Every structure is written in C-alpha cells, then in structure tokens.
Chains A and B, each alone.
Chain A
Amino acid sequence: MTSDNDRRRGLLARLRGRPAARSRGRRRLGAAVRLLAALMLAGGAYTAFAPSVQAQDTPMSSAATDGKALFNQSCVSCHGRNAQGVEGRGPSLVGVGSASVEFQVGTGRMPMVRQEAQAPRKPPVFNDDEIRQLGQYIQELGGGPEVPAGEDLHKDGNLAAGGELFRINCSQCHAFGGGGGALSSGKYAPTLKPATDRQIYAAMLSGPQNMPVFGDNQITPEQKADIIAYIQETLNHNQDPGGFNLGRYGPSTEGLAIFLVGIVALVFTTLWIAGKS
C-alpha cells in the first residue's frame, strides 16, 4: 500500500519515482492537457463503438413508417409505445422480427379479440400490404428472424426426410395427421390444414404462443423445406386411400363410428329380421 502522502500525488508522478520540484503553474497546465486527452479518448471510443444509437437517428423506411402508424392504431394498447410491451397484457416486440408479425397477423391471431389462454386463428384483419408494413416496422425496430422470399418454400423438399422430422419434432403436439392436439389449461396446438408454406416457416422460426422456436441451428432451412413439403404434399393433400378419414383423430372416432354406424345398423337389422314383442 502506498502511504497517505503518496496518494495525493498523480499517477504519472508516482511511476516516475521521486518527484522533482515543479512550479505550481506547470502542474496546472499538465493537469489540463491530461483531462483534455482523456475526454477526447472517451468521446472517440463512444462514437466508434456505439453505432446503433446513431442508426436510431436515421429515418425509418416509408413502409416502416406506415407500419408504425398501423401499430399505433391497433397494437399499441397491448404491446405499448415503441412495441416495448405492457406488463400483463402483451410482450415486447423488439427483436421478434418480421417472421413473427407475418405469422401472428397473417393468420389473424393478432390483433387478439380478448386475453385468453391462446389466440385462435381467424380471418386476418390486415391485408398483405399492411402486414408487410407492420413486419417492416418491427424488423427495423430491433431486427430478428425473417421468412425467406417466395410463396412456395417446399420446392426441393424431400418427403421422406420431412416425414421423419415431422414425426420427431411436430407430431407430439400437432399429431400424426397434423390435425392438432390439446395442451394444458386450454392451450392447444392448432391444425396445420389451413397453413401456408410461409406461415409454417414463420411459425418454426418464431415459435408463436406455446410452440418452441426451431431456429436455423436446430432445423436447417433445407430441413424446414422438407417438413413443409411433408405437411403440404402428404398431410394436407387429402390422400386417404382408405376412404373417409373420420377427422384423422385416431381410435377415438373409430370407436365412435363402430357404435354409431356398425352397431346401430346391425341392431336395426335384428329388429327387422326378428320378433319385437
């Protein structure tokens, strides 16, 4: 530890060893120069390492401005000013990306009608242009995942690989047939029947509601194309070689059918061929 006497002297002076006697004026000048240099260094470092703050100052694209107007009209009550979220109502949207907007608004889930376990799919409130503007606003606000361009995202998909990935990753909630299934406390995995390629892709990227995020590190874009191909070409194609699929709900509707159709038909037959009283 340095002594009390040492601490009163400057750092450079201490490094230099025992000080030579200096005039009071020179000491004052040196202190001023050192202060100036430190201020310039700090300012320079700040300008070099904080470009994002500078970006906020750049004006938003016109689409994003329109999107912001739409946001302030329809979304702000739950997601708050500048999409920072409102405690107990809606989460912050900074960083969720346009993929999330495309899924939530494009499937009509947002804007929500009321707070409940899960937002159901309904006819979208905004048209495609407005959804793109909203997405652009959220994207420019904080970045985040984006759906690649194009409507057909499963051109080169491999059905067999997609089927295997679907059964491993998706069927736990959406069921083998893609018809959806129940989760706890009123939440559910929706049916995949009405979903478009872009919506499935956006859902995998953004993990809406109770769905986990399947980022490009977990499931590569090629594998995503495989999964979408399996869903669209096999599950949503109404290929049921065995006849009416009974909703693809599995043995529960089959059990219902054997009683409502089989047993009822045969009991009527017994009434027909045998005595009744």
Chain B
Amino acid sequence: MKRRKFEMAAVPGNVARGVDDRFQVATPLRRLLNKVFPDHWSFLLGEIALFSFIVLLLTGVFLTFFFEPAMTEVIYNGSYAPLRGTPMSAAYASSLDITFDVRGGLIMRQMHHWAALLFMAAIVVHMLRVFFTGAFRKPREANWIIGSLLFWVGFLAGFTGYSLPDDGLSGTGLRIASGIMLSIPVIGSWLTSSIFDGEFPGTIIISRFYIAHVLLIPGLLLALIGAHLGLVFKQKHTQWPGPGRTNDNVVGERMFPRYALKQGGFFMVVFGVIALMAGLFQINPIWLFGPYEAWVVSAASQPDWYVMFLDGSTRLMPAWEIYIPIGDGYVIPPLFWPTVVLPGVLVGMSVLYPFIEARRLKDYRHHNLLQRPRDVPARSGLGAMAVTFYLVLALSGANDVIADKFNISLNAMTWGGRIGLLLLPPLAYFVTYRICLGLQQHDREVLAHGVETGIIRRLPDGRFVEVHQPLHREDGELEYVGWVVPKKMNRLGALGPAIRGFFYPIEKPAEAPVSPAPSVDSDTERSEIASGERR
C-alpha cells in the first residue's frame, strides 16, 4: 500500500477549510480582516492605553496570588530588617513580602504601578489628540463620552490600587479621601461611614477596595474599553483629509496582515518600555513609608500624577467656610469646592463638549475627516486653556516639592498658583488663537505665492527679489483643503528625496544638490520622503 504523501504546504489551507466547513466564518472573517485603518502616528496613542491595560491585567493577576487584603494586625518578620518586629496590617506585610520575598515580586509591583501611570497618561494624550483634531464630532459623541468615563474609572482604579498596600503614604491619601467625602453636605457623614463601615480607618476598607480594584473596576473598564473599540469598528476610524480621502471613504491599511503586525509589534514595544521603566526606576517605595498610622504624615505626601490636580486645587483653595444658620448651624467646609464640585464640573464639561460645540456652530452633519488644530482656532484655544488650567493645578499639587528643590517660598508658590490659575488659561487661549491664525495665514500665502526657494535674484536695475516656486501652473489661487501645505523645496521633489532612516541614514546621501534642482526619477521615490516636515 502506498503511503499518503504529507504535504506541509497544504496544511493551513486544509485546516482553514475544515474550520469554515464547521463554523461558516470565512465571509465575516474576510470582512473583518479586510477592514481598513487609516495610518497616522497620532492614531496609535489610544493603543498605548489599551496595551498598558493588558500589562496591568497580567501583572495584577500575578500580584493577587500573593497579596492578602486584610487589616488584621500582624508582626512583620520578613527579610526587610528596618521593619522587622513592627506591628502592621496583613495587607502591608504581604506587600512587603511581594517586594522582598516573592521571586520577581518587586518588578511585578513596579511594572503594575508604571503601567497604571502610563495607562492614565496615554488616556490623557489620546484624549487631547481626539479633542484637538475634532474627532469627537458627530457621529462619535458617544465614544467621546465613553472615553471621558474611562479616564474617571481609571482614576478610581488607580486610587483604590494605590491604597491597597496600606502604607503610610496611601493611608494619608485615604484619610484625605475620607475628608473629601465628609465635606459633602448632608450625605457626607453617611457616605463615609458606609464606605469605611464606621469611623476612618475602620477595619474593612482594604478588603472593600480590594474587591473593587480586582473585580468591579476592571470589569467596568473592560466593558467600557470593549464598547469603545466596538464603536471604532462600527463607526470606522476618522482620517486626515488628503489626496483621495473624502468624508465617505477610509484610506489606509488592511487589518491583516499589515495593521495587525504593526499593532503586535507596538504591543511588544509598550510592554518593553513598561518593563524597562520598572527595572530602571524605583516607584512607590512602600518600605520607606512604614505601616499606616494616623499620626504619621510625611512631608511631600502626594497622590499619583492623575490625582495631583485635586491635591493642587485643595492647596490653592482659600479657607472660605460657608456658615448656614439653619437649626444649630451648618458649615460647608472649603474642601468641598475644589474636590467635589470642581471634578463634577470637569466631568460635566468634558462629557457635554461635543454637543456644546455642535450647538454653537449649528453643525449637525457627519464628520469623518479630521481638522487640523490651526483650522479651528477657537477649539484649539479652549483646549490650550484646559491644559493650562490642569497643569497649574497639577504643579500646585507638588508645590511643596517644587518650593523646596528650587528654593522658592511655599507661600509664593501658593499665591503664584492662585493667580496663575486665573490668569494663565485666558492667556493660553489668546496665544494659541493667534498662533493658529498665523499658521493659517502662512498656509494661504504658500498656496497663493509658492514655496520659498531661498534664492535671491538681482534684477538688472539693482533690485533684489525673492524667488518663489509656485505650486500650480495656471494663474489663480489654489484652494486650501485642510491638509499639509508643502513649505520646503524637498517636499516638492525639487531637491531630491530626503535621506531615509530614523536614527541614522540607511543609504548614502546623494551628492550635494545643486540649484535649480535636478529632476527626480520617479514618483515612487518621491513618496518615500519621510522626514523634514514638522506639524
């Protein structure tokens, strides 16, 4: 009997056929794999957040194997000598064990923490990209709202996680959180005692935060991220305007193989950057903070960066108590305004912004093309205003460290923050607005008169004129289409293509270009130009 010949090359095809016979997935899968994504660096910022979330899940699962979420008092007897014999909660003792006695525990803890910081940072950077390019406009308002909620849910995830080790620093943060909740009129005391099960700190808060941190909040995050990505798939990604790109199509790369490969590679890079930071930079050294005791409050007690703006607003708030003479009298403490009202206003404003803008501009059309920030100076100005406001608050949150290290009076920092909070945002609006108008004007000028060549010609009568390379043959003006206007001769192919390579040239540079430029061989070479442009 003749043995059947085994053909390696036919295996994938056979397997695929077998799968499709049983599940009928070829048609939907083809649709999915052929889905086109526009390609631009700024579209990858959200992915940083997504990939750090995956790292958070992986490292977080590792940490749960060793963490003990209990506030029962134990005597530490691990390998960190300066705390041996100290009474502390089981949560803190197990965090120390993860750090010093579990193999690989410290780097897992540090990766988890750095990934959390990166997650929040990437959310903010991604949000800025979406805001400044107008990607939140109809039909994508829902996704903008989900994104804003992701920030606040991530904020909660970060705060609960930061509190879990029950060290001196996080306990101070928890104390402040309980103070913030207490400051809410009428319901404050009920809210605090129901969360802490009595007076702060109680004996159950760590267990409650634990279940919120490892189950409820990640579940919510996962659901929101799923909805966020699902909407991107359904509504398709926005794209920059440009040749061949309209409001009704998507120009880019197919999901498979190029886009998927790039994303896979990018995930590896994000993972690598987090691992590298965790290996190189120490984060949250809980062993120095000691166990939480109510009477230990260190100088420079700060929350993680995404909470720091609340710390800053608290530091800048004047001590204005509002006394309401009802019954025995009622006091609204000053803490209420910067830590409850301000975040509430911020959530409301960010969620409602797409609708406010549409209403103001009476623009209810679908928008699938992005806008360059310079083309919408009012929005860019508002964004700059918001960023400045946030930065002043965040810097004020660290104002004692800044005051100490730069030899500034802390009082001066506080007053600088108060005045800066009122003055700098409008200033940022004005400056941004003017810069946008200036950039617009330059684009129009190039379209009308051409690119500066750097050549000065002397006329027979002695005058000098600057030679421009017009962008069009006929007389008349080119219309601005909302996309990059070439401003350098090599962008026109007039000086030969730029040297390729990211950090160093991967090909020998051509000989120094002569002017007027030599003709360029083909269009394909021109399209390889990759650098020499700023935006």
Q: Which residues of A contact B (CB under 8 A)?
A: 117, 159-160, 162-164, 167-168, 171-177, 179-186, 188-189, 230, 233-235, 240-246, 248-259, 261-263, 265-267, 269-277
A182–B404 touching, CB < 8 Å: yes
| A173:B86 contact, CB within 8 angstroms | no
* Residues of B that sit less than 8 Å from A by CB: 39-45, 48, 81-86, 99-100, 106, 110, 114, 117-118, 121-122, 125, 168-169, 262, 265-266, 269-270, 273-274, 277, 279-285, 288-290, 293, 295-306, 308, 394, 397-405, 407-412, 484, 502, 530-531, 533, 535
Complex: A4 Cα to B41 Cα, angstroms: 113
Known: A163-B83, A255-B305. 17 other contacts (CB 8 A): A159-B82, A163-B290, A171-B168, A171-B296, A171-B297, A176-B290, A184-B409, A230-B82, A234-B82, A244-B282, A245-B282, A251-B308, A255-B308, A267-B125, A270-B45, A270-B266, A274-B262
Q: Which of A181, A251, A267, A277 contacts B484 (CB 8 A)?
A: A277
Q: Are A242 and B305 in contact (CB under 8 A)?
A: no
Expressed in whole angstroms, the Cα–Cα distance for A270 and B398 within the complex equals 30
Q: Which residues from B are CB-within-8-Å of A243?
A: 110, 279-282
B298 with A172: CB separation less than 8 A: yes
For the complex, what is the distance from the CA of A275 to the CA of B40, rounded to whole Å? 5
- Separation in Å of the B343 CB from the closest CB of chain A? 18
Q: Which 6 A-B pairs have the closest CB atoms?
A: A255-B305, A181-B299, A242-B282, A252-B398, A186-B409, A182-B404
* A contact residues around B274 at 8 Å (CB): 262
Determine whether the beta carbon of B281 is less than 8 Å from that of A244.
yes
Q: Are A174 and B299 in contact (CB under 8 A)?
A: yes
Q: By the criterion CB–CB under 8 Å, are B304 and A254 in contact?
A: yes
B530's partner among A177, A245, A256, A276 (CB-CB below 8 A) is A276
From B110, B280, B403, give the contact of A182 (CB < 8 A): B403
Residues on B with C-beta less than 8 A from A258 are 114, 117-118, 121, 277, 305
A180 — nearest CB in chain B belongs to which residue?
A: B404
Beta-carbon contact of A189 and B302 below 8 Å: no
User: A168 to B48, alpha carbons, bound, how many Å?
Assistant: 41
Residue of B nearest to A179 (CB): B300
Q: Which residue of the partner chain, among A176, A184, A189, A276, contacts B41 with CB atoms under 8 Å? A: A276
Contacts of B86 in A (CB 8 A): 160, 163-164
Interchain CB contact under 8 A, B269 and A269: yes
- Minimum distance in angstroms from B287 CB to a CB of chain A: 8
B303 contacts which chain A residues (CB < 8 A)? 251
With a cutoff of 8 Å between Cβ atoms, the chain A residues found around residue B81 in the complex are 159-160
* B118 and A176 within 8 A (CB): no
| CB-defined contacts of A261 to chain B, threshold 8 Å | 273, 277, 281
Whether B273 contacts A265 by the Cβ 8 Å rule is: yes
Q: Which A residues are in CB contact (< 8 Å) with B265? A: 273
A269 close to B288 (CB less than 8 A): no
Cross-chain contact A255 with B304 (CB below 8 angstroms): yes
User: Closest approach, in angstroms, between the C-beta of B162 and any C-beta of chain A?
Assistant: 9
Q: What's the Cα separation between A130 and B281 when bound, in Å?
A: 44
B397 CB contacts on chain A under 8 angstroms? 252
Interface centre among A230, A235, A257, A277 (most CB of B within 10 A): A277
In the assembled complex, which residues on chain B have CB atoms less than 8 Å from the CB atom of A276? 40-41, 530-531, 533
Expressed in whole angstroms, the minimum distance between the Cβ of B429 and any Cβ of chain A is: 23
Contact indicator A175/B282 (Cβ below 8 Å): no
Contact A250 B305 (CB under 8 A): no
Closest CB-CB distance, B79 to chain A, in whole Å?
11
- What separation, in Å, do the CA atoms of A183 and B265 have in the docked complex? 48
Choose one: B283, B296, B304, B398; the contact of A168 (CB below 8 Å). Answer: B296
**A155 CB to nearest B CB, Å:** 16
Determine which of B299, B305, B502 lies in contact with A173 in the assembled complex, contact meaning CB atoms within 8 Å: B299
**A186 contact set on B, CB distance < 8 A:** 407-412
B56 to chain A, nearest CB (A): 14
Q: Can you list 14 pairs linking A and B with CB atoms under 8 Å apart?
A: A160-B84, A164-B86, A182-B299, A185-B411, A188-B403, A233-B82, A240-B285, A251-B303, A255-B117, A262-B121, A263-B121, A266-B270, A273-B262, A274-B262
| Other-chain contact of B273, A246, A251, A256, A266 (Cβ < 8 Å) | A266
Residues of A within 8 Å of B290, CB to CB, are: 163-164, 167, 176
Residue in A closest to B125 when the chains form the complex, CB atoms:
A263
Give the docked Cα–Cα distance between A244 and B303 (Å). 20
B48: contacting residue among A254, A266, A274, CB under 8 A: A266
Q: Report whether B409 and A250 are in contact in the complex, using a CB–CB cutoff of 8 Å.
A: no
Asked if A163 meets B282 with Cβ closer than 8 Å, knowing A176-B298, A261-B277, the reply is no
Neighbour of A183 across the interface among B122, B169, B408, B410, CB < 8 A: B410
Q: How far is the CB of B87 from chain A (nearest CB, A)?
A: 10
Contacting pair B400 A181 (CB below 8 A) = yes
The answer to whether A250 and B281 touch (CB under 8 A), given A177-B288, A266-B273, A276-B530, is no
Give the most central of A179, A180, A235, A258: most B CB within 10 Å: A258
Give the residue name and chain of the B residue nearest to A117 (CB): B409
Of the residues B42, B282, B412, contact of A241 by C-beta under 8 Å: B282
Chain B: minimal CB distance from A262 (Å): 5
In Å, the complex CA distance between A246 and B284 comes to 10
Nearest A residue to B113 via CB reads A254
Q: Give Cα A105–Cα B86 distance, bound, in whole angstroms.
A: 37
Contacts A163-B82, A249-B300, A276-B530 given; indicate if A267 touches B398 (C-beta within 8 A). no
**Distance A233 CA – B82 CA, assembled complex (angstroms):** 9
Q: Determine the distance from Cα of A269 to Cα of B305 in the docked complex, in whole angstroms.
A: 23
Report the Cα distance A160→B77, complex, angstroms: 11
Given A168-B296, A273-B266, A274-B40, verify A254-B288 contact (CB < 8 Å).
no
Q: What is the minimal beta-carbon distance from B352 to any residue of chain A, in angstroms?
A: 28
Q: Please tell me if the beta carbons of B281 and A172 are within 8 angstroms of each other in the complex.
A: no
Residue contact A272 to B411, C-beta cutoff 8 Å: no
Q: Pick the contact of B39: A184, A256, A271, A275 (CB < 8 A).
A: A275
Residues of B with C-beta under 8 A to A174: 299
Which residues from chain B contact A254 at a C-beta distance below 8 Å?
117, 281, 283-284, 304-305
In the complex, chain A residues whose CB is within 8 Å of the CB of B411: 184-186
